[in-house]
């Protein structure tokens, strides 16, 4: 995995698909990130509602320079060509550099769900990380009840590798978490 290359590309990272532009998250995207954090329909399976100060700090942190440290998220903003408006984010991070493995995640505003944007954005992300960065393995996590998320992972060709029982505290209860994985040699970019 060429981590130095990813660190080098990160400040101006830009991926284009037929309908989407994925570009580095900037300070201009903070209001969109805050609006998403405050929308329980989007965040229901990600984390509980946070204090406004924590939401603000988290959203601003997404625009911070990325150093490629283990566990540090690199955030791209998803912008559909037809509106030119930020509609969500795709995030990625090195789990541990020693395992040459990265984790990714995604969330989109409700008004653009079920158009195939989530899949399209993830295909572009996986293709870039495997082909350009040489990542050996990608993993993604989701609450077991987050059917939209794990179906998207399965559409990408990921395999369910684990079910972490009672792992994430959401809405007062400990929820199971699924772990999905995809090896570089298994990746088949959809036509
Ligand atoms: C998960 C999410 C990004 C999917 O984005 P999307 O653009 O609506 O998904 P797509 O239209 O690309 O759908 C891809 C596949 O995901 C599955 N899927 C998406 N939404 C679904 C839903 N509401 N119910 C069941 N399956 C769903 C389907 O298998 C779909 O393939 P299909 O259209 O061939 O049936 C979106 O639902 C979201 O932002 N959710 C809130 C945030 C979140 O939970 N993020 C993940 C945290 S782990």
CATH of the domain at 98: 3.40.630.30
On whether residue 127 sits in a domain, the answer given is yes
**Number of domains into which the chain is organized:** 1
Burial (CB count within 10 angstroms: exposed 0-12, middle 13-18, buried 19+), residue 18: exposed
On whether residue 27 sits in a domain, the answer given is yes
On whether residue 174 sits in a domain, the answer given is no
**Distance from residue 108's CA to the centre of ligand 1 (Å):** 9
On whether residue 179 sits in a domain, the answer given is no
Query: CA torsion sign, 148 to 150 to 153 to 157?
Result: negative
Range of 23's domain? 3-140
**Distance from residue 32's CA to the centre of ligand 1 (Å):** 19
**Distance from residue 150's CA to the centre of ligand 1 (Å):** 8
Q: What is the residue with the minimal CA distance to atom 10 of ligand 1? A: 116
The radius of gyration of the chain from alpha carbons, rounded to an integer in Å, stands at 16
On whether residue 93 sits in a domain, the answer given is yes
| pTM, 2 dp | 0.97
Burial 45-65 (b: 16+ CB within 10 A, else e): bbeeeeeeeebeeebeebbee
**Predicted confidence pLDDT, tens digits, the chain (191 residues):** 999 999 999 999 999 999 999 999 999 999 999 999 999 999 999 999 999 999 999 999 999 999 999 999 999 999 999 999 999 999 999 999 999 999 999 999 999 999 999 999 999 999 999 999 999 999 999 999 999 999 999 999 999 999 999 999 999 999 999 999 999 999 999 87
**Distance from residue 65's CA to the centre of ligand 1 (Å):** 29
Q: Token digits for 67?
A: 């150093």
Query: Do 107 and 40 contact (CB within 8 A), yes or no?
Result: no
Q: Token digits for 56?
A: 């603000």
Rounded CA separation 24/15 (Å): 9
* 101-108/137-143 β-pairing: parallel
The per-residue pLDDT for range 20-32, each reduced to its tens digit, is: 999 999 999 999 9
On whether residue 88 sits in a domain, the answer given is yes
Query: Do 68 and 133 contact (CB within 8 A), yes or no?
Result: no
Q: What is the residue with the minimal CA distance to atom 37 of ligand 1? A: 148
Which residues form the pocket of ligand 1, taking CB atoms under 6 Å from any ligand atom? 42, 45-46, 105-108, 113-119, 142, 146-149, 151-152, 155
The per-residue pLDDT for range 1-12, each reduced to its tens digit, is: 999 999 999 999
On whether residue 146 sits in a domain, the answer given is no
On whether residue 108 sits in a domain, the answer given is yes
């Amino acid at each position: 995995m060429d981590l130095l290359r990813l660190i080098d590309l990160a400040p101006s990272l830009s991926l284009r698909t037929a309908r989407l532009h994925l570009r580095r998250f900037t300070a201009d995207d903070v209001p969109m990130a805050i609006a998403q954090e405050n929308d329980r329909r989007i965040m229901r399976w990600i984390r509980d509602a946070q204090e406004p100060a924590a939401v603000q700090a988290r959203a601003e942190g997404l625009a911070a320079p990325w150093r490629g440290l283990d566990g540090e998220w690199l955030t791209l903003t998803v912008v559909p060509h037809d509106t030119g408006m930020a509609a969500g984010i795709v995030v990625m991070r090195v789990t541990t550099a020693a395992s040459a493995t990265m984790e990714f995640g995604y969330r989109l505003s409700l008004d653009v769900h079920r158009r195939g944007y989530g899949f399209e954005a993830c295909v572009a992300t996986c293709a870039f990380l495997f082909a350009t960065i040489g990542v050996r393995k990608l993993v993604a996590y989701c609450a077991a009840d987050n059917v939209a998320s794990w179906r998207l992972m399965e559409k990408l060709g990921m395999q369910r590798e684990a079910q972490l029982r009672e792992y994430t505290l959401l809405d007062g209860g400990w929820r199971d978490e699924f772990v999905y994985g995809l090896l570089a040699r298994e990746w088949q970019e959809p036509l």
